[in-house]
């Protein structure tokens, strides 16, 4: 991908706006379903639909053959993702939509720390400062000691950590397999991993519940597609700040649809996390551009 390919900021912003709306629909539907189905079962049904949507990419990849290392990494990522989606579904049914969304913004921070610990990436001062600000934002959202920290909050924190670690494996896999193969393998691994968990707690779902979970899978798939389009159209420095609007949509959804109280501190904490991530993204893009741009004197040779 050339720099010219990513020189469409308006398109990137619009694609990211659609992405945020898609994911808010996902969280809203899961919130609407509530605790009628166990978290593992809801997640399993959602990923079964995902397998059907992704079959055109999965079947050709399996026919071509997949390297053993890719299988190993995909399996490990699948285990982490199984834990993440179960925790996320559990949290989504128990705490406000805005809080789930705000805590979920910690995913890139987990990726940054994990990349330093496990992939040998340098943890520069700007990264450490961004991590510190993001953690302060998380404290502002949760406010331990000033209100009750529920199982739902702890589940979403666990989900953020597991999703972040899953993304680290995705980063490693991106050098070994095509994006479509990576996504399809994830759906396969998570579906297989969730199957025994769902079976252990299975309750007969209604047609309405099955229909809503199909909506969840559909909008999640569309959201991942539009996110990829946003990243292709514009740099992260343009698209990253737009993700904060997802918290605004989630807050409005929680207020209008579920009667959830608008908590200004949740918005403030989410804004701190997004600001920290956006600064870190912008700063590293500046340094990368400086590294690849030849100095003026070089043009004279």
* pLDDT digits 0-9 by tens, 89-136: 999 888 999 999 999 988 888 888 888 887 777 777 778 888 899 899
E strand intervals along 162-204: none
- Percent over 90 (pLDDT), the chain: 37
Say whether 144 sits in a helix, a strand or coil.
strand
* 254 close to 97: Cβ distance less than 8 angstroms: yes
From the list 255, 284, 248, the residue with the least C-alpha distance to 17 is 248
Kindly indicate the confidence band of residue 51, based on its pLDDT and cuts at 50, 70 and 90. Answer: confident
pLDDT band at 243 (very low <50, low <70, confident <90, very high): confident
pTM of the model: 0.82
Q: Domain count of the chain?
A: 1
Measured over the CA atoms of residue 288, residue 291, residue 297 and residue 301, the dihedral's sign is negative
CA atoms within 13 A on the CB side of 132: 7
238 lies in a domain? yes
205 lies in a domain? yes
> Do the Cβ atoms of 245 and 20 come closer than 8 Å?
yes
Do the domain assignments include residue 3? Answer: no
The b/e string for 192-209 (b: 16+ C-beta within 10 A; e otherwise) is ebbeebbeeeeeebeeeb
* CB atoms near residue 214 (< 10 Å): 17
| 197 domain residue, yes or no | yes
Which residue's structure tokens are 């992704």? Answer: 54
Question: Residue 297 falls within a domain, yes or no?
Answer: no
The closest of 177, 231, 193 to 67, measured between CA atoms, is 177
- Tell me if 96 is assigned to some domain: yes
Residue 298 is assigned to a structural domain of this protein? no
Predicted pLDDT at 244: 81
**Minimal CA–CA distance to 80: which of 186, 9, 1, 5?**
186
Q: How far apart, in whole angstroms, are the C-alpha atoms of residue 9 and residue 15? A: 10
- Nearest to 134, CA basis, from 163, 164, 112, 106: 106
Q: Could you tell me if residue 299 is inside a domain?
A: no
**Can you tell me the distance from the alpha carbon of 81 to that of 94, in angstroms, rounded to the nearest whole number?**
20
Instruction: Tell me the pLDDT tens digit for each residue of 140-183.
Output: 998 987 888 899 999 999 999 999 898 888 878 877 887 778 88
- How far is residue 252's CA from residue 292's CA, in Å, rounded to a whole number? 43
Q: 217: Cβ–Cβ under 8 A, 6 or more apart, which residues?
A: 46, 47, 49, 50, 53
Tell me the residue range of the domain where 279 lies. 9-291
* C-alpha closest to that of 258 among 99, 138, 135, 102: 99
Q: How confident is the model at residue 237 (pLDDT cuts 50, 70, 90)?
A: low
Question: What sign for the dihedral angle of Cα 31, 223, 184, 278?
Answer: negative
């Amino acid at each position: 991908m050339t720099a010219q390919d990513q020189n469409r900021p308006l398109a990137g912003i619009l694609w990211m706006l659609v992405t945020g709306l898609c994911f808010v629909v996902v969280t809203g539907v899961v919130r609407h379903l509530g605790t009628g189905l166990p978290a593992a079962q809801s997640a399993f049904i959602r990923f079964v639909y995902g397998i059907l949507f992704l079959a055109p990419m999965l079947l050709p990849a399996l026919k071509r053959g997949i390297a053993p290392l890719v299988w190993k990494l995909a399996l490990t990522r699948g285990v982490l993702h199984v834990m993440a989606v179960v925790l996320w579904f559990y949290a989504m049914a128990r705490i406000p939509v805005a809080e789930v969304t705000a805590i979920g913004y910690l995913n890139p921070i987990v990726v940054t720390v994990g990349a330093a610990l496990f992939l040998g990436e340098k943890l520069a001062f700007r990264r450490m400062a961004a991590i510190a600000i993001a953690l302060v934002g998380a404290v502002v959202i949760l406010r331990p000691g000033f209100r009750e920290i529920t199982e739902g909050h702890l589940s979403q924190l666990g989900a953020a950590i597991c999703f972040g670690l899953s993304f680290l494996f995705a980063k490693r896999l991106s050098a070994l397999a095509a994006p479509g193969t990576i996504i399809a393998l994830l759906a396969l691994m998570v579906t297989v991993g969730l199957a025994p968990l769902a079976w252990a707690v299975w309750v007969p779902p209604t047609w309405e519940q099955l229909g809503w979970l199909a909506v969840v899978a559909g909008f999640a798939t569309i959201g991942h597609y539009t996110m990829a389009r946003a990243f292709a159209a514009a740099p992260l420095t343009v698209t990253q700040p737009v993700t904060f609007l997802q918290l605004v949509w989630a807050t409005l959804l929680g207020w209008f649809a579920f009667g959830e109280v608008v908590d200004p501190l949740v918005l403030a904490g989410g804004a701190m996390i997004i600001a920290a991530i956006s600064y870190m993204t912008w700063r590293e893009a500046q340094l990368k551009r400086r590294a690849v741009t030849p100095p003026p004197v070089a043009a004279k040779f």
